[in-house]
Amino acid sequence: MVSFKLARTLISISGENMKQIHFLGPEGSYCEIAVNKLVQLLGYSPNEIELVPGSSIKKVIENVDNLDKIIGVVPLENSIEGIVRETLDNLVKTSSKVMMNMEVIVKISHCLITKASRYDEIDTIVSHTQGLAQCNDFINRNFPDGVELKTATSTSEAVRSIMDKPGNWAAIGTKIAATHYSLPVLKEGINDQPENYTKFVLLDNKVADPTGNDLSTIAFSVRNKPGALVDILIPFTQNNINLCRIESRPSKKNLGDYLFFIDFDGHIEDEKVKDTIGKIAPNVDFYRFMGSYPKCSKND
């Protein structure tokens, strides 16, 4: 009994020091690439962290909100598709402790993964709808006689699905998924627009420290009166704060009722940001500070 108790205590101590990073899985997803980049940037050693692939963006965000000592990584925005709605819609539903804390940009580079050694051996290609759409020209150019296209729930699921298939099957996915499932890559970088990036965001229960080059995000809804939205934006100009982006998301109550999401330059601790937020407060029906975090570029 004693040794059993001791073992439990040891596990518990080890568990307390471990930090869990939940991310949008499965293994081999672009989100896992983002996690690896973040782990390096944050200087975690492999013994300190445990990577937990989540089944959906919603699930990852809910876990950060509801469980202790968990940070999350989810996709936020793609340079071609735009904002990831599932991320915004679920983030705004969390308790106010969940904060956007850090960003990282991953270059999207799709691979043709297959046991075949030539394109003309392949008659079926499987991927996520976006994977297929983003390689449309490549497919038309290299499969002039046509090829059957099948969809999967994610690019990594597509790669997994061809593990037990013969060489007439191919998947479009990441290089790390090919490695993970021990499958050969026939061709790298097959996406039609080579400049394709996705920004991922790290979610934590604290605001990142100011760096002097930060971005902040807020969400709000406005009272239904003419000019209400612009009234909220004017204090930003008065304080010389640049607005980077505005998104409208449906309130999901009535068509035409929106939640607005704004990204602006600055940190919530900056005096001019505090002043601006103070000025807009009387004009909003709903307000949620989503986080301040260092700006990142695709070269980081």
Name the site residues for its own copies (rule: CB under 8 A): 77-83, 85, 105, 151, 193, 195, 197, 199, 225-231, 233-234, 236-237, 240-250, 252-256, 258, 260, 265, 298
Contact 21, 35 (CB under 8 A): yes
Of 85 and 141, which has the nearer Cβ to its own copies? 85
Least separation in angstroms between CB 282 and its own copies? 16
Among left, alpha and beta (phi > 0; psi -120 to 50; other), residue 177 is: alpha
Of 127 and 180, which has the nearer Cβ to its own copies? 127
Least separation in angstroms between CB 228 and its own copies? 8
Helical (H) or strand (E) element with 216: strand 214-222
How many CA within 13 A on the CB side of residue 271? 0
Of 73 and 88, which has the nearer Cβ to its own copies? 88
Q: Which residue's structure tokens are 């980049």?
A: 37
Least separation in angstroms between CB 117 and its own copies? 31
Least separation in angstroms between CB 7 and its own copies? 37
Least separation in angstroms between CB 200 and its own copies? 12
What are the strands of the beta sheet with 111-114, ordered from one edge? Answer: 148-151, 124-127, 169-173, 111-114, 185-187
Of 183 and 293, which has the nearer Cβ to its own copies? 293
Contact 29, 174 (CB under 8 A): yes
Of 121 and 265, which has the nearer Cβ to its own copies? 265
